[in-house]
Structure 1
Amino acid sequence: MGFIQIALGAGWDALKSSFGDQFLDFLVPPTGLSDTAVLFPAVTQGTNAGRGQNTRGSENIITNGSVIVVPEGYGLLTFQDGAVSAVVAEAGAYRWDSESQDSKSVFSGGGLLNSTFTTSWERFKFGGRPMGQQLAFYVNLKEIPNNKFGTQSPIYWDDRYLNTQAGAITRGTYVLEIADPVLFVKTLVPASYLSAGARPFDITEATNPVSEQLFSEVVGSLAGAFSRYVNDPDKDHRITRIQGDSVGFAKSLSEEVEKNYQWTTERGLEISSATLVAIEYDADTQALLSDVRKADALSGGRADTFLKQSVARGVENAGETGGGTGLAMMGMGMGAIGGMVPQTPGAPAGMAAGAAAQQPAAPDPHAQLASAKKMLDDGLITQEDYDALKKKALGL
């Protein structure tokens, strides 16, 4: 029982013109669907100017010999009395062949007694109604865009790079895919969308009960997703990069959602990409990020350059004021800057003595260390620079 493929990747118009007189009914997707509709019933497009040859077919029964068209990017599920009876995941045209008496008719080649009589008897026992129900539904296997999420209050995560807890209000969108149609319809789709005459199941509709549920589960996973992103030991992730890394963030979000709610293994859903539209950090996190930017700007060779420029400005200030107060304000004597003011060759000894007289007789190591520690705390120098200044001040 099930489908027999008769054409691969064929469209409805081509099949209608080529096979329109050979089959009782054509089942095709409805028109006017939105891009975010993920499940919708097949509709009958009869031949013979829309009237079809199957004038005695039963409602909600797929007659043997009917053709169901599956367009590119869609799958098809059929249901017999509420249970999944067949699955099609490849585009093309398929002829329906069922052993159910309700699928047989005087047009399906079953013979008079084998179809008409047997079916009428079975229906009579059930009060004139078909003993079963056969329905066909299309499943959208394309990417489902524009699934939104957002928080009204900050979410918090432990940030390994900042070495503390960080927080932010955020909003964005993610792209969803149905990886397993059977799991999807069995575990997530309400029964009202799998019945005769059901309306399309649009997963982004505000009135869709599943939409609100998925929204809450994604929001509930954001803090864990942020933590996964910034604390991945295999990557040098920083929270400031997350808005430009939709693939990396989607991976973290998908893993966290799977951990918490088993979207893939139990519901047949996957998050293929995610984009953060906005992140509004709380005040403490903003201050931390400001310090990090300063540290990044002064890292490596930049710290050494900045230190030399600061010392040079201090020397210049000392010359303008006629004394060593500029350097003293920095807590550094001339000896602490490695003799950056050279002795002029051949200069009179008095000049050297005069210069020496302007220098502090003995630099105060406590003042030097205090100044260097403040520069370290302010992010103006690195720990390595501080250690070097400490050794120099202590004469080590």
Structure 2
Amino acid sequence: MAIIKAFAGALGGTFADLWKDIITAGRFDEYVVVAPGVPRGANNGRGSNEYGSEGVISNGSHIYVPENTAAFIFSESGIENVITEPGGYEYRDGEKSVLAGDGIGSLFSSVASRFTFGGQPVETKYVAFVNLREIRGIKFGTPAPLVYNDKFYGVDLEIRARGTMSLKVTDPVRFVRNYVPANVTSYA
């Protein structure tokens, strides 16, 4: 029974992932630095690409990068590609698809590959967008006075600090590698 279920899952998943996707940035709130790539589903009742596998980008899919953002394409091994210029880009290194002109053989090889993994896609790829605009109004402060010993005057001082600051990501690759936790697509 498990073999039949795996074959059905492999076949169904392959057919669901044949469609090309249109991926754009998720919603950026005021303090969001990293937002997930969101595939567009239906558009006014048109379009049927709502049931594809999580973490699969088909060949021929389009990635739209808005102004003041950088798009990161991640695979299981980490950063695969970085797009820092705004515009629309066609992705050609994803799941092979008959609809992208990869041939009918790609359908059978994809079904066979998924069948050996119980119907699951072998590769995982996803898109995340990094906010490159200045993030303003971040509040900071000390919850209580901090004691500071001034050696010149020989006295203890109590210091309080509070205010607002702004941050801006200037090197998105370094930011993602050094500050964003692994497998995170949203970070504020």
Question: TM (normalized to structure 2)?
Answer: 0.76
Corresponding residue for residue 67 of structure 1: 62
Query: Paired residue for 2:25, among 20, 23, 29?
Result: 29
Corresponding residue for residue 39 of structure 2: 44
Q: Distance in 1 between matches of 2:121 and 2:60?
A: 18
Q: Which has the higher helix share?
A: 1
Q: Distance in 2 between matches of 1:50 and 1:158?
A: 69
Corresponding residue for residue 201 of structure 1: 187
Cα offsets for 1:288-330 (capped at 9, x unmatched)? xxxxxxxxxxxxxxxxxxxxxxxxxxxxxxxxxxxxxxxxxxx
Once the two structures are superposed, the pairs formed by residues 150-229 of structure 1 within 5 Å of their partners are: 150-151=141-142, 152-154=144-146, 156=148, 164=153, 167=157, 168-191=159-182, 193-194=184-185, 200-202=186-188
Q: Max radius of gyration: which structure?
A: 1
Deviation at 1:175, TM superposition (A): 0.7
Query: Paired residue for 1:125, among 116, 122, 132?
Result: 116
Corresponding residue for residue 144 of structure 1: 135
Q: Distance in 1 between matches of 2:163 and 2:84?
A: 31
Cα offsets for 1:197-218 (capped at 9, x unmatched)? xxx322xxxxxxxxxxxxxxxx
Distance 1:155 1:180, change over 3 A: farther
Corresponding residue for residue 249 of structure 1: none
Cα offsets for 1:21-57 (capped at 9, x unmatched)? xx932111224x3121111111111466465365784
Corresponding residue for residue 108 of structure 1: 100
CA contact (8 A) 2:70 2:85 kept: yes
Q: Give the superposed CA RMSD.
A: 2.7
Query: Paired residue for 2:125, among 117, 124, 134?
Result: 134
Q: Distance in 2 between matches of 1:88 and 1:42?
A: 13
Once the two structures are superposed, the pairs formed by residues 223-242 of structure 1 within 5 Å of their partners are: none
Distance 1:82 1:51, change over 3 A: farther
Question: TM (normalized to structure 1)?
Answer: 0.38
SS at match of 1:72: coil
SS at match of 1:117: helix
Tell me, which stretches of 5 or more residues in structure 1 are unaligned?
A: 1-22, 195-199, 203-396
Distance 1:58 1:154, change over 3 A: closer
CA contact (8 A) 1:25 1:52 kept: no
Q: Distance in 2 between matches of 1:105 and 1:136?
A: 19
Corresponding residue for residue 11 of structure 2: none
Distance 1:174 1:48, change over 3 A: closer
Distance 1:35 1:150, change over 3 A: same
CA contact (8 A) 1:24 1:53 kept: no
Deviation at 1:158, TM superposition (A): 6.3
Distance 1:58 1:155, change over 3 A: same
Identity of aligned residues (%): 37
SS at match of 2:57: coil
Q: Distance in 2 between matches of 1:84 and 1:184?
A: 12
Q: Distance in 1 between matches of 2:160 and 2:183?
A: 36
Q: Distance in 1 between matches of 2:141 and 2:53?
A: 48
Higher relative contact order (CA closer than 8 Å, sequence separation 6+): 2
Once the two structures are superposed, the pairs formed by residues 78-97 of structure 1 within 5 Å of their partners are: 78-97=73-92
Q: Distance in 1 between matches of 2:154 and 2:163?
A: 22
Q: Distance in 1 between matches of 2:59 and 2:49?
A: 10
Distance 1:80 1:50, change over 3 A: farther
Q: Which has the higher strand share?
A: 2
CA contact (8 A) 2:41 2:50 kept: no
